[in-house]
Structures are given as structure tokens and as C-alpha cells.
Amino acid sequence: MRRRLVAGNWKMNKNYREAMDLFEKLNEASAAMPAEVDVMIAPPALYLTGFAKTSTRKIEVGAQDVSHREEEEGAFTGEVSAAILKSAGVRYAIVGHSERRQYHGENDELIGKKIQACVKAELTPVYCCGESLEERESDRHFEVVRKQVSTALSGFSAEELSALIIAYEPVWAIGTGKTASAEQAQEMHADIRANVKELFGAEFAEKVRILYGGSCKPGNAAEIFGKPDVDGGLIGGAALKAEDFTAIIGAGF
């Protein structure tokens, strides 16, 4: 049985006071969160150390991005290495989010290096993939996502990727209020699982957690999470309100 994971991606939101306030509310709510669900929050990088030090055991902390450099340290201005994140108590790093692809020109070769940096530092990578609206409308969504996944994960062994988490986030559903239907999510998740089965074997495919992301809300989370190949969610907008994020964590329980 795969454990459900609900992760909150705060993106570039919340000034210091607001961030502390939201974090405190989540910490307070964490005692009532279902034991069966893993919870992660990915705040702006500046807050990671403080959150990692003071979060309750229920809430784990993740970075929204990580350097693709394999060096633990060095003259790479502006970069934060996987090893530095790990040393500060950070457990996860989101890699390849569609906003990184769109605004920072990241591609799956570079994202593969970020995954490699995470593997080396024993940081859990949350690898994001997903098609654009145009790709879906031209019926290329399965092909596009298969290519993303196989490129980013090429050259790794199943063992190296044993901690990997995949997040399927159709670009047309991110921050748009348009959610993929539970059926659309399920068919893509099943295809991703079939793809990683071909790449890494049945045992790996059975174990790997695949999250859905894109306008996930308290009102639709239970239905989406109820699908057999959906193992939780990567939540953007709705993670910025303690009540909504808490409701998504408890969806279906």
C-alpha cells in the first residue's frame, strides 16, 4: 500500500509575518491530521531552516527547487545545493515544476541533473511533469509526459530512485481553476505507472507515489485522491490557506 502524500507548494508567496502565521496554524492543526497521510510544505527558500527546526513531526519541509550542481558546495552564486538543504533538515525538493520550465528554461536533461543531486544528497525528489493545453488538445498528452519522464529519469537505476515521487501537473490546470477530472488524472497516472514499469520494473512501479497537481481544492480532492493510481496531491493556491490545506489533507477520511 502506498501512503498518501499531500504537499503544499507556496511558490513566491507570503512575507515573513504571513508565512510564520500560516506555518503556526498548520502546526496547530497537525495533531488532528490523519495518521495515514504524509504532509509536506514547500515555503520560499528563506523560511526552510526555521520551519524544518520548529515544525511538528507531522509536517515535513521541502524546497521548491534545488541546484543541478552535484558539488556539495562551491562558487555557484545564488545556488542552494541538495547537500545544504539536507543539512538544514529539509527532506524533499520539488524539481521540474512547470513554472521553472516556463520562466527559467528548464528542460528534462537539466531536471535529471537535479534529481541526480537529490539522489546523491539523499533528498527526496518530487519530479513534476505535465502537458500544455495545446499538447492535450492535439491529443499528444500521453506521448509528451512519457517523453518527459523517460528523459528526466534516464540513466538511473531503480534503486537510486527508490525515494522518487512523481507529480503529474497538467499545465492547463495550474492556477487556472480548471482541474483535470478525476478520470483524466487517473488515466494519466496509470500511464505514468505503466511507463515507469517498463523503465524500472513492476516492483518499482507498484511502490512509486504519483501526486496530482493543478487547481486541487477541498471540494475536489477526495474524488481525485480516491482514484487507484493517485497517491495524493501537490497543492498550490489552496495550500496558502490553513483551513483549505488542512481540509485537503483530510479529504476522504
- Cα–Cα distance between 17 and 20 in angstroms, integer? 5
Task: Say what angle helices 218-225 and 242-249 make with each other, to 10 degrees.
Answer: 20
Active site members = 97, 169
Q: Is 155 in the site for ligand PGA (CB under 6 A)?
A: no
**167 in Cβ contact with 234 (< 8 Å):** yes
Closest residue to ligand PGA in the complex (CB) = 236
Smallest separation (angstroms) from ligand PGA to the CB of 115 = 17
Sign of CA dihedral 196, 202, 203, 207: positive
Residues 172-201 contacting ligand PGA, CB under 6 A: 174-175
Q: Is 62 in the site for ligand PGA (CB under 6 A)?
A: no
The span of 79-87, 132-140, 143-151, 230-238 binding ligand PGA (CB under 6 A) equals 230-238
* Nearest CB to ligand PGA, comparing residues 145 and 235: 235
**Interface mask (CB under 6 A) for ligand PGA, residues 234-253, using x and -?**
xxxxx---------------
166: β partners: 127, 210
Q: Is 9 in the site for ligand PGA (CB under 6 A)?
A: yes
The span of 57-65, 111-119, 155-163, 232-240 binding ligand PGA (CB under 6 A) equals 232-240
* Nearest CB to ligand PGA, comparing residues 83 and 192: 192
* Nearest CB to ligand PGA, comparing residues 63 and 84: 63
Residues 203-222 contacting ligand PGA, CB under 6 A: 213-216
Smallest separation (angstroms) from ligand PGA to the CB of 201 = 28
For 160, the 3-state DSSP assignment is coil
Query: What count of other Cβ atoms lies within 10 Å of the Cβ of residue 88?
Result: 16
* Nearest CB to ligand PGA, comparing residues 65 and 169: 169
Judged by CB under 6 A, the number of residues near ligand PGA is 13
* Nearest CB to ligand PGA, comparing residues 99 and 205: 99
**126 in Cβ contact with 91 (< 8 Å):** no
- For residue 75, the number of C-alpha atoms closer than 13 Å in the C-beta half-sphere is 0
Smallest separation (angstroms) from ligand PGA to the CB of 196 = 20
Closest CA to 209 of 250, 166, 251: 166
| Burial degree of 30 (CB within 10 A; 0-12, 13-18, 19+) | middle
Give the contacts of 2 (CB within 8 A, at least 6 positions apart). 207, 208, 209, 231
Contacts with ligand PGA by CB under 6 A lie at: 9, 169, 174-175, 213-216, 234-238
